[in-house]
Amino acid sequence: LNPQHCIPTLCDKNLVLWESRAILTYLVSAYAKDDTLYPKDVRIRALIDQRLHFDLGTLSHRMVEYFYPTIKLGAPLDETKRAKLEEALRWLDSFMKGRTWQATDHFTLADLALCVTVSQIEAFGWNLNAYTKIKPWLKLCKEYLEPHGYDEINEHGSEVLANYFMSRLKH
C-alpha cells in the first residue's frame, strides 16, 4: 500500500497518498465546500505551499533533529541543533510581519500544519516568548481549531510525547 511504511496514509478510491501535507492539500482540493483553507488563486496557494514546505523541510526537520535523539536514544540535547531550531523559529516569526496568519488574512492549511509543529515544540518546554508573532498566532490557531477537536486530536498527543521526552531527558 505504502512503500515507505509511514503514517499517515490515505486511501481514497484508487488513490493512495502518504505525507500529511500532501493529504491535507488533496482532501481540501477534492472535497472542501469552499476553498478558504487552500484557495485556488495561484499566488495565495504558492504562499501556502511555501509555508507547508518550510514546515516539512525546515521547521519540523529541525525540531526532529533537536528533540528526537533524546526521545529515541536518551542522548543529551545538542546546542548546535538548538541554534538551528531557533533560526527556523525566527524565520517563521518574520513570515508574519504585517499578518495575523501565516500566509493570508485568514486561517489556511499553512496555519494548520505549522500549528501542529509549533505546539509540539511548545509542549517540549520551548519558551516562545522571544517570538512576538508566533505566540499570539499559536493562541489564535488553538482557539480556531478548538471547536474542531484540537485538544483531543493534537494537544493530548503533544503532551504525551512531551512527557516522554522529559522522562528521557532526566536519564
Percentage of the chain beyond pLDDT 90 is: 95
- Is residue 37 included in any domain, yes or no? no
Is the domain of 62 the same as that of 141? yes
Is the domain of 24 the same as that of 54? no
**151 DSSP 8-state letter:** I
- Is residue 74 included in any domain, yes or no? yes
- State the average pLDDT over residues 147-166: 93
- State the average pLDDT over residues 54-83: 97
According to DSSP, the residues that pair with 16 across neighbouring strands are: 11
- Is residue 61 included in any domain, yes or no? yes
Is the domain of 112 the same as that of 68? yes
Is the domain of 27 the same as that of 47? no
pLDDT digits (tens, 9 = 90+) for 125-151: 999 999 999 999 999 999 999 999 999
- Is residue 36 included in any domain, yes or no? no
Percentage of the chain beyond pLDDT 70 is: 99
Is the domain of 75 the same as that of 156? yes
- State the average pLDDT over residues 76-83: 97
* 121, 114 Cβ separation under 8 angstroms: no
Q: Which three cell numbers stand for residue 88?
A: 527556523
Domain span at residue 12 reads 1-31
pLDDT at 20 over 90: yes
Is the domain of 10 the same as that of 85? no
Query: 24-52 burial, b for 16+ CB within 10 Å, e for fewer?
Result: bbebbeeeeeeeebbbeeeebbebbbebb
Predicted pLDDT of residue 171: 65
Is the domain of 129 the same as that of 79? yes
- State the average pLDDT over residues 51-80: 97
Predicted pLDDT of residue 169: 86
- Is residue 152 included in any domain, yes or no? yes
- Is residue 68 included in any domain, yes or no? yes
Is the domain of 27 the same as that of 53? no
DSSP letters spanning 76-122: PPPHHHHHHHHHHHHHHHHHTTT-SSSSSSS--HHHHHHHHHHHHHH
What average pLDDT does the structure give for the chain?
95
Question: Total structural domains in the chain?
Answer: 2
pLDDT at 170 over 80: no
Is the domain of 148 the same as that of 95? yes
Is the domain of 24 the same as that of 53? no
Is the domain of 84 the same as that of 56? yes
pLDDT digits (tens, 9 = 90+) for 84-131: 999 999 999 999 999 999 999 999 999 999 999 999 999 999 999 999
Predicted pLDDT of residue 34: 85
- Is residue 112 included in any domain, yes or no? yes
